[in-house]
């Protein structure tokens, strides 16, 4: 099962921007995630067409099952 940590940020224009991280370390420490998101915002590390990140909106772990088929 593949897992992804999705970080959700609000931009200057009020839109939601998402960053995803594959295979997050578990268990997820909510305090560390919040602190990391705050550091990303403070650093101005990302810019989108809707502006810089101005606040954190949330985070979630997405689990999905991937089945590969060999096509011959």
Chain segment 21-69, per-residue pLDDT in tens: 999 999 999 999 999 999 999 999 998 999 999 999 999 999 999 899 9
How many domains, in total, are found in the chain? Answer: 1
Mean pLDDT of 14-18: 97
Q: In this structure, is residue 70 part of a structural domain? A: no
Q: In this structure, is residue 57 part of a structural domain? A: yes
Q: In this structure, is residue 34 part of a structural domain? A: yes
Instruction: State pTM to two decimals.
Output: 0.87
pLDDT at 1: 81
Cis check for the bond before 37: say yes or no (omega within 30 of 0).
Answer: no
Q: In this structure, is residue 71 part of a structural domain? A: no
Buried-exposed string 11-45: b where 16+ CB fall within 10 A, e elsewhere? beeeeebeeeeeeeeeeeeeeebeeebeebbeeee
With H, G, I as helix, E, B as strand and everything else as coil, classify residue 28.
coil
Q: In this structure, is residue 69 part of a structural domain? A: no
């Amino acid at each position: 099962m593949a897992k992804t940590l999705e970080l959700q940020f609000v931009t200057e224009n009020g839109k939601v921007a998402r960053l995803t991280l594959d295979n997050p370390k578990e268990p997820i420490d909510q305090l560390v995630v919040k602190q990391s998101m705050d550091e990303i915002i403070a650093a101005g590390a990302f810019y989108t067409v809707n502006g810089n990140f101005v606040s954190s909106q949330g985070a979630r772990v997405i689990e999905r099952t991937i089945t590969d088929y060999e096509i011959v």
